[in-house]
Amino acid sequence: MARLSLENPEYYLNRDTSWLAFNRRVLEEAEDAVNPLLERLKFLAISASNLDEFFEIRVAAMVQQIEDGYNEAGPDGLTLSDKRDILARLTHKFVDDQYECWNTLRPALAEHGIRVLGLHELDTEARRFVDEYCEKELDPLLTPVTVDPTHPFPRVINKALCLGLLLRRRRRSALTYTGVVSVPRGLPRLVRLPSDNTTDFIFLADLVAHHAQNMYHGYDIVSSAPFRVTRNSNLYLQEEEARNLLESVRAELHNRRKGDAVRMEIEAGADPEIIDRLRTVFELDPWQVFPVNGPVNLSRLFNVYEQTKRPDLKYRSFAPRELRLTAKSQNVFEELQRHDILLHHPFDSYDAVLSFIESAAEDDKVLSIKQTLYRTNEHSLIVPSLIGAASRKEVTAVVELKARFDEASNIRWARDLEDAGVQVFHGLVGLKTHCKLSLLVRRDPDGVRSYAHIGTGNYNATTARIYTDLSLFTANPEITRAVHDVFSFLTAYAENPSYDPLLVAPLDLAEKVISLIDREADHARQGRPGRIIAKMNALLDKNVVQALYRASQAGAEIDLIVRGICSLRPGVRGLSDRIRVRSVVGRFLEHSRIYYFGNGGEEEIYTGSADWMPRNLYERVEVLVPLRDEFIRERVRHEILDAYLADNRKARILLGDGTYIRTWQPVRGKRNRKPPTGAAAFTAQDFLITVAEGRQSADFALPEVPVRKRRAPAGKKA
């Protein structure tokens, strides 16, 4: 057989179509009748929010590059204009499917007494409430605009919901004017209606349309339609030329709200004249206009989920497992002197992470605290702890100002920390600080010792309840010394020859990951088992993909658990026969990164902040840490990884042609795949909940589900 060229574009899936396939899997959870009804509504809202960000960042960048004259091909062989045409088709189909889902969920919700009503469906009491609400709450916040030579088209900010109107003056009936009303952001997008027996809502945009005639006296409203414009939200910073990065980010945030338009959503059935006028104003091509068969902005359906107290229509709540110290330990520091601790959130409580930092702030024996902050929650307990500690000990914080969509809150935290006397740094020019590190130095009875927390997730107690992440606590001298050196790199750009045992991007992480993959290939060539299991959010780096291809060709067995983007094409004969890729989308967002290498029986497992993407390997400061504790390695390998590999309910299998199929029940009934003989439906996240609650042993025999591989047709593009 001829040797395959790893540069062949046919062996790489397109990044953006792969991302859309991930968002499709989110939408499938909204379509899946097995999920609780209100959870399905939440999945639909998540898919809409995800699509917003995709247009704000990825599509906006693509459009900007094409306008600037770039049309280069990526690793998959697609030029930017090729990709634009593909994305135009796929995103329109996706939006149509979203609204098909909504129009299925709406009557299902009504059957359970949760109604999202239109104006024509209101009874007398509700209509009286609406009229009063419009007069007292809504009208004072509205500013109607009629576009004419003295009233230019208003500046519509990013993702602001608006009402577009065609107006005709009663005294000059031959002319029509464009009217625009911005829906106030200070009011809820879904207004709760008074009702004794049902939970009723109406969209605020409908109330604005209802009230429009009271604002446009002297006009007849020919037609109206709600619309929403998505703008380019990329930050264009010249870091090397910036005197003050904080002020540069703050200034650029102001411009984000006014970036070029990249998409307009508008109610289906809108008058073509309104669509044409708006499209001209926003300088959009026809493919960038999305008529929708329902409410504009489905992400606002989060409001229904949050305001509806129906636990019978949501996932069963559970209490995460609390960290318990052994009888010999008075505190977590004494426990860490005996052994490392690994927590798996949200199955294990995040309180232990908060307590680690809070107790350090209050403990007089703790001499210094060093902390990275990428995204933290609005009411963070960590930042006040650092502020409180600053008057008594050395406190250093590395705050990443460029964490997308968290820039404003990070600027606020950075200023508060600086005002309290914390030494605040903003990382390195040209690199985002994405590693999740906390380092404490404490004077113990037997001497000064360092303690570290290394995580896969942000220091955010809110997302810790809905993201799966790992937290490693350790007092291992080699690891804590290396963490100290990473902080020196972040604050002084001081590069060490080695950060062993850590893998640190952009210094040596990519090189060492490829070396670990190549080692498994060498084991396989020597007749020893070559084994890789890797769990991550995204796999995109071409060098890593090629290393995995080589390992498969050498005979190594590879299982990849990739939540989102995956550019690797599995199941290609002679190239990736031994690579299997699955994605798990369920109740919790899979966010943990775990990298297992069999190493001929001397297994090694790493965890940390880095995915296998170019931005993680070369454009960010990331850290992976080896799991040294044998008990922890056993838990990660057999409790966590085995569970995700056995999942046959929430997992989808990536085929060689770039499509994903379920391992269990179909959503739309197109692939009626039956469960393996004698197998029962198994969900990894549900299993891990039962383990955390003590209702099931962690050494429970996990089911093995065979995966049928399908080879990719030659020349098939995603």
The catalytic site residues sit at 434
Please say whether the beta carbons of 168 and 178 come within 8 A. Answer: no
DSSP state of 412: H
Locus of tokens 């269990």? 664
Rounded to whole angstroms, the Cα distance separating 388 from 383 reads 9
Rounded to whole angstroms, the Cα distance separating 579 from 123 reads 59
Rounded to whole angstroms, the Cα distance separating 33 from 362 reads 49
Q: How many CA atoms lie within 13 A of 287 on its CB side?
A: 13
Locus of tokens 């085995």? 642
Query: Of 627, 651, 632, 629, which is closest to residue 702 (Cα–Cα)?
Result: 651
The set of residues, in sequence order, having a beta carbon less than 8 Å from that of 632 and lying 6+ positions away, is 340, 342, 472
Rounded to whole angstroms, the Cα distance separating 643 from 165 reads 54
What is the 3 state secondary structure string of 4-48? CCCCCHHHECCHHHHHHHHHHHHHHHHHCCCCCHHHHHHHHHHHH
Locus of tokens 């109610």? 267
Paired strand residues for 210: none
Query: Of 587, 577, 570, which is closest to residue 655 (Cα–Cα)?
Result: 570
Query: What six digits make up the tokens of 238?
Result: 């010249």
Please say whether the beta carbons of 610 and 422 come within 8 A. Answer: no
**557 exposed, middle or buried (CB, 10 Å; 0-12, 13-18, 19+)?**
middle
Cα 363 to chain center, whole Å?
Answer: 35
Please say whether the beta carbons of 281 and 273 come within 8 A. Answer: no
Q: Is 703 helix (H, G, I), strand (E, B) or coil?
A: coil
Crossing angle of helices 382-389 and 351-362, rounded to 10°: 10
> Hey, what's the torsion of the CAs at 606, 610, 616, 617, to 10 degrees?
0
* Sheet of strand 261-267, all strands in order from the earlier edge strand to the far edge: 145-147, 176-182, 161-169, 219-231, 261-267, 289-292
Crossing angle of helices 80-111 and 37-53, rounded to 10°: 160
Q: Is 503 helix (H, G, I), strand (E, B) or coil?
A: strand
Rounded to whole angstroms, the Cα distance separating 232 from 284 reads 13
Locus of tokens 């291809």? 549
The helix or strand, by DSSP H or E, that contains position 370, with its residue range, turns out to be: strand 366-373
Rounded to whole angstroms, the Cα distance separating 585 from 47 reads 12
DSSP state of 538: -
Query: Of 15, 12, 9, 22, which is closest to residue 62 (Cα–Cα)?
Result: 15
Please say whether the beta carbons of 549 and 630 come within 8 A. Answer: no
Crossing angle of helices 80-111 and 15-31, rounded to 10°: 10
Query: Of 374, 402, 375, 397, which is closest to residue 238 (Cα–Cα)?
Result: 402
* Residues present in the chain in total: 718
Q: How many CA atoms lie within 13 A of 278 on its CB side?
A: 32
Strand ranges (E), 34-133 = 114-117
